[in-house]
Each structure stands twice: as C-alpha cells, then as structure tokens.
C-alpha cells in the first residue's frame, strides 16, 4: 500500500519541473543515476556497448529525451541517433545492435507530428539498416498507442525489422497482439511504465502479471519475433518454456532488460544460451527515465536516500 502511494508520487514527480530541479541539484544524484545510465555522450554509450558485447549480450541504445517542443528539438534528436549509429559503426560494434526511439522525441506531438515523427524515424531506420542495426519504437502513454503502432506498420513496409512495444497493463494489448500476428514484426513485451487510468489499464500488479503471462503465450505462438522485456524471473522461465514448446531456437526470440537493474539475471540468461539484449539509455536528459525506475521499485528510493545520507555525513 505504502509502496503504491510512493510509486504514484514518484510517477507524478517524473513529470514535475519543480521536482526535477530539486533532484537534479542534489550533488549525489549523478552517482546514483550512474547505476541506470552509463553516461551522457555517445562515446559513453559505445563504451558500455563494448563491455556488454564482450560478455555475450547484445544492446539497444536510447538517447534520453522525451516530448520535444519544436521542430528544431526533433531534428536535433534525429541527428543524435544518426551520430550514435555512426559512432557504433566507427567502433565496429554496429552489427546486431538496436536503437530504441521515443516518437515523442521525434516530434510526434507537434502539429503535423505523425508525418514529422515518421520521417525522422524513417531516416534513422534507413541508416540503421545500412549498418545491420535494427530500430524499436518505445511505447509511451496510452494516448500515443494508435499513432505509434500505425507508424511502426508504415515503417515496416520499407524496413521490416522496425519493432513495436506492447504494454500488458493496457486492456487493449491482447487485441493488438492478434492484429500484429501475421506481420512477422519484432514485438517487445513490457508490463508498462506509465501510470494509466482504470478505463484503459489494469491497476493491480497481479492482473498485469497475469496479462503478461498470457501475452507471452500469444506472442510465442504467433509469427512475430518476441522480445520479452522484464526483470521478473518467473516471466523469463515461462518465456523459455513457451519458446521451447513453440519450436523457437535461440534466434527465434530474445530477453531484454534495462541497464543496471539485474545484471546477474542477464548473465544467467546468457549462460543458459539465450539471446539477451540490454537497454542502454544515455544522455543529459535522464530525469524522467530515472524517476520511472525509482517508481517501479520503491526499494530503489531507499538506495537513493542512503546515498544522500552518506553524502551529508
Ligand atoms: C528492455 C526494456 C524496455 C522497456 N521499454 C518500455 C517501453 O517502451 N514502454 C514502457 O512503458 N515500458 C518499458 N519498459 C519498462 C517496463 O514497462 C516495466 O516498467 C519495467 O520493466 C518493470 O517491470 P518488470 O517486468 O521488470 O517487472 P516487475 O514485476 O516490476 O519487477 C520484477 C522484479 O524485477 C526487479 N526490478 C524491476 N524494476 C526494477 C528497478 N527499476 N530497479 C531494480 N529492480 C527492479 C525487482 O526485483 C522486481 O521484483 C521496458 C523495460 C525493459 C526491460
């Protein structure tokens, strides 16, 4: 109960400019953020990529930043992804890498945003495809789902490896899986990081977990490429069993986890012969991402407060 209240507060704080200024001004924050965000520059992201590839993992990279307010911001974000892809190629670690895009950062919410975001994402998808990389469109709050799925479908006509994300807290997701079956799309399955109203989303964790299990089953028996993105070992065990039952080999699906959350579980998946992709966010605009990670697991707040207390001693 207390955890739920704290989680709601943190989710609200993730959208508050005042809370943002306060958290960013704690001198210790950067040190704690490092656990989830390995750096601010493309060079930092490439260095983290190298380290992870050396341990048998693959990566998906996210340039942090959401909700750009003008066309110049959206173009700057597109350019940041193009520069990232060039840096990966330069370092010899582009092949097999994925980049995760938030369409809100590509201009989706601007007037004429669907065309702007689609064009920016298409430029990134073209550059990625030329280097043997893939692109995944992150899913944001429920008001963006129709648009994000439609943009994914449009992009796959030219770039078949562009993936979409589905959130099992949303009531619509079983229908979306059924609609995507037959397209062969790469689909990342997540529980959902955004606080959503009961009219569109399941509210209890047990319900979201149950929906996640059913969605694993549906995706594994579809023709989509399932990307099971969770730190929940019970869900991963289920994915392993269902992949086996569906006759999917190591190339037929993958697990995904966020950088720094459960490295030991990542390693277990690698050691067991499964494809394991780590989501690496980087950049200066880490606030919203960091606060959502705290909201997901209020125990992380204790970690943050301990670091603060230690610092003030
Ligand atoms: C690769 C990847 C991409 C994602 N992309 C999106 C997206 O596009 N859109 C979206 O809405 N959401 C996305 N998410 C976030 C997702 O929706 C969940 O909010 C998040 O993964 C927590 O849910 P869980 O499945 O790990 O399970 P939970 O049931 O929340 O957690 C299971 C266990 O994992 C551990 N754990 C979970 N979160 C944390 C944490 N922050 N810190 C420490 N331990 C933790 C804990 O031990 C916990 O008991 C993504 C997640 C991953 C892994």
Q: Per residue in 288-298, pLDDT tens?
A: 888 888 888 87
For the record, the structure tokens of 95 come out as 């092949």
Ordered by where they begin, the domains of the chain are 1-35+295-313 (no CATH), 38-285 (3.20.20.220)
Q: Is 112 left (phi over 0), alpha (psi -120 to 50) or beta?
A: left
CA of 165 to the centre of ligand 1 (A): 13
What pLDDT score does 13 carry? 78
User: Residues 6 or more apart from 300 whose CB is under 8 A from it?
Assistant: 293, 294
Please list every protein residue whose CB sits less than 6 Å from any atom of ligand 1.
138-139, 165, 167, 190-194, 229-232, 256-258, 261-262, 279, 293, 296-297, 300
Length of the chain (residues)? 313
pLDDT digits (tens, 9 = 90+) for 157-185: 999 999 999 999 999 999 999 999 999 99
Q: Is 87:131 a contact under the CB 8 Å cutoff?
A: no
Q: Report the alpha-carbon distance of residue 277 to residue 285 in Å, rounded.
A: 23
Q: Is 117 left (phi over 0), alpha (psi -120 to 50) or beta?
A: alpha
Q: Report the alpha-carbon distance of residue 188 to residue 139 in Å, rounded.
A: 9
Residue 188 annotated in active site: yes
Q: Report the alpha-carbon distance of residue 239 to residue 98 in Å, rounded.
A: 21
Give 312's pLDDT tier (boundaries 50, 70, 90).
very low
Q: Is 10:288 a contact under the CB 8 Å cutoff?
A: no
Give the pLDDT mean for 211-224: 98
Q: Report the alpha-carbon distance of residue 36 to residue 289 in Å, rounded.
A: 9
Q: Is the pLDDT of residue 248 over 80?
A: yes
Q: What is the pTM of this model?
A: 0.93
Residues paired with residue 285 on neighbouring β-strands, in sequence order: none
Residue 221, helix vs strand vs coil: coil
Catalytic residue among 188, 238, 242, 275: 188
The residue that leads in pLDDT, 69 or 251, is: 251
Handedness of CA 53, 55, 61, 65 (dihedral sign): negative
Residue 246, helix vs strand vs coil: coil
Q: Report the alpha-carbon distance of residue 257 to residue 265 in Å, rounded.
A: 9
């Amino acid at each position: 109960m207390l955890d739920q209240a704290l989680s709601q507060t943190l989710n609200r704080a993730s959208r508050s400019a005042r809370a943002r200024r306060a958290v960013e001004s704690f001198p210790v924050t950067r040190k704690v953020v490092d656990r989830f965000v390995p750096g601010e520059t493309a060079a930092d992201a490439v260095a983290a990529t190298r380290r992870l590839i050396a341990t048998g993992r693959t990566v998906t990279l996210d340039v942090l930043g959401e909700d750009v307010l003008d066309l110049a911001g959206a173009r700057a974000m597109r350019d940041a992804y193009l520069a990232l892809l060039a840096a990966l190629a330069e370092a010899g670690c582009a092949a097999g890498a994925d980049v995760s895009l938030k369409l809100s950062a590509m201009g989706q919410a601007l007037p004429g945003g669907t065309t702007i975001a689609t064009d920016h994402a298409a430029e990134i998808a073209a550059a990625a495809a030329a280097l043997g990389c893939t692109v995944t469109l992150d899913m944001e709050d429920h008001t963006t789902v129709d648009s994000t799925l439609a943009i994914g479908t449009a992009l796959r006509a030219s770039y078949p490896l562009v993936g979409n994300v589905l959130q099992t807290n949303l009531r619509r997701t079983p229908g979306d899986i059924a609609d995507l079956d037959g397209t062969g799309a790469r689909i990342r399955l997540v529980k959902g990081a955004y606080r959503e109203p009961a009219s569109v989303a399941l509210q209890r964790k047990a319900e979201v977990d149950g929906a996640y299990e059913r969605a694993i089953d549906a995706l594994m028996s579809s023709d989509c490429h399932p990307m099971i993105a969770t730190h929940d070992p019970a869900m991963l065990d289920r994915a392993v069993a269902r992949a086996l039952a569906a006759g999917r080999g190591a190339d037929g699906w993958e697990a995904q986890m966020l950088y720094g959350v459960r490295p030991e579980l990542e390693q277990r998946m690698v050691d067991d012969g499964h494809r394991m992709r780590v989501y690496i966010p980087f950049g200066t605009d880490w606030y919203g991402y960091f606060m959502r990670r705290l909201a997901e697991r209020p125990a992380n707040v204790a970690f943050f407060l301990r670091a603060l207390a230690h610092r003030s001693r």
